[in-house]
Chain A
């Protein structure tokens, strides 16, 4: 089990002119998100009973292509489930995600425009969007956490790699991205490669261990699923502590 040593980092409210914003970096990805809303919706996007959620993904270089549209549609359908869209009929909640940095693959010359789906960026996108939505104070029925897991075959043995590097993604037998709501519901499941139901089950367990650790991790009381996984990042706890420190900083004057 390889666990990337870099812990996720986040800052809230980095963009002063938007309603909410967040900067997030983890596993080599750095993203900034801004959330505006509820604002007036364009006539064609207007929905009589609920808010329209618009997600825009901008790549680190160049303009977005079909791949970005696909990522947007995945995020849009997931976030629209979390945001209480019924509270804001005829309005728009706009989430813009700017990729600032993505990990380099040393083995191949990366192209600027690529059509192929990059699953490894999904968790960072979900996390950044959720943080920015929290920062904007958009009412949600749940938060969500996501993680990427790759199954690598090496020397005849199967290995599960959390937050795989681009090289690992390339050599992996299968790559999975799973997102869970704070109620432990499976919000998003994206997998590609070659695997069996049993392998997927293992991946599910690993991902759930990272995304939905039960209860706040206090000294000694943290639920340790596995010796190896103990060192893995607890995404939910991370989300919580980020919010707590932001609130503490904002209320410092009191």
Chain B
């Protein structure tokens, strides 16, 4: 059933272009990380991109050194606090609603117009991360909408389709979403206990199957041979609290410390993001 509220393309399905691999780049197989294991990429954060919204922010994470690999670009706007619709039941505290949507041109594969399960998933994780930071009982009977458009995903344009990287891309996207939403919430003047920021750490296996896995912060899937596990952490630095932890992948059961180590690194990445966030907000105040 075609969507009659949009202009639909041709009746027959279109296929994304297939590239001939005969003339592919030579050094494609060599995947290497361009940064030290515990360094995050540079990010650019700016508030007030949508003047008509209560608060808004734009986040851009630096493009990696490999050509064709785009950085994450996110735009977030916050509307509210505003009164809940008349149909909504009574709520003693603020009701957060989060929407995360990829732009149709954000990733290698064209995204649909309707939110898919992974986008809904991102929204739920984001909500959990922010709920712990907002002082919710200051606004009874009101709601706030947090809308994030992922303008460009963190993906390698050159790699062929379907490498199973999507799940790891989602981790990075969530980390960015949390940071940008926190900035937009602060811009909207919604009271929070602290500025929350997202950070990602991963356990990667860079040199073949039998090598010893290492823990890195802010991983880019295209820069690593294999990602075994990753976690995305939303962390409040002054309170030393974690509001959301999303863990995915396999950890060898033999090493208990590995998990703690991974979380530790995630917090470190989150602290880095927080520094940028605080710097950006301080700049806005001046």
Contact = CB atoms under 8 A, between A and B. Distances in A.
A–B touch (CB < 8 A): the answer is: yes
Interface of A: 63-66, 69, 113, 115
B15 interface: no
Interface of B: 2, 4-8
Contact of A64 (B2, B4, B6, B7): B4
15 contacts: A63-B4, A64-B4, A65-B4, A65-B5, A65-B7, A66-B4, A66-B5, A66-B6, A66-B7, A69-B5, A113-B2, A113-B4, A113-B8, A115-B7, A115-B8
A69 B7 CA distance: 12
Contacts of A64: 4
A22 B86 CA distance: 39
Contacts of A115: 7-8
Interface centre among B4, B5, B6, B8 (most CB of A within 10 A): B4
Nearest to A65: B4
7 closest A-B pairs by beta carbon, nearest first, are A115-B7, A65-B4, A63-B4, A66-B7, A66-B6, A66-B5, A64-B4
Which residue among A64, A66, A69, A115 has the maximum number of chain B CB atoms within 10 Å of its CB? A66
Nearest to A63: B4
Of listed B5, B6, B7, B8, residue having the most chain A CB within 10 A: B7
A24 B137 CA distance: 61
Contacts of A66: 4-7
A115 B2 CA distance: 12
Given A63-B4, A69-B5, A115-B7, 4 more contacts: A65-B4, A66-B4, A66-B5, A113-B4
A69 B6 CA distance: 10
A113 B2 CA distance: 10
Contacts of B2: 113
Contacts of B6: 66
A66 B8 CA distance: 10
A73 B24 CA distance: 51
A66 B7 CA distance: 7
Contacts of B5: 65-66, 69
A33 B142 CA distance: 43
Nearest to A113: B2
B198 to A, nearest CB: 37
A113 B4 CA distance: 9
A65 B6 CA distance: 7
A67 to B, nearest CB: 9
A201 B6 CA distance: 35
B9 to A, nearest CB: 10
B161 to A, nearest CB: 29
Nearest to A69: B5
A65 B2 CA distance: 10
Contacts of A65: 4-5, 7
Contacts of B8: 113, 115
A20 B4 CA distance: 29
A69 B4 CA distance: 10
A113 B6 CA distance: 12
A101 to B, nearest CB: 22
Nearest to B7: A115
A205 to B, nearest CB: 35
Nearest to A115: B7
B145 to A, nearest CB: 18
A113 B10 CA distance: 11
Contacts of A69: 5
B87 to A, nearest CB: 10
B208 to A, nearest CB: 53
Nearest to A62: B4
Nearest to B6: A66
Nearest to B4: A65
A91 to B, nearest CB: 20
A64 B6 CA distance: 11
B142 to A, nearest CB: 20
Contacts of A113: 2, 4, 8
A63 B5 CA distance: 10
A175 to B, nearest CB: 20
A75 B80 CA distance: 34
A188 to B, nearest CB: 23
Nearest to A64: B4
A115 B4 CA distance: 10
Contacts of B7: 65-66, 115
Task: Indicate the member of A63, A64, A65 with the most B CB atoms within 10 Å.
Answer: A65
A231 to B, nearest CB: 40
A32 to B, nearest CB: 22
B24 to A, nearest CB: 38
A181 B8 CA distance: 36
B2 to A, nearest CB: 7
A69 B5 CA distance: 9
A170 to B, nearest CB: 20
A114 B252 CA distance: 57
A161 B7 CA distance: 30
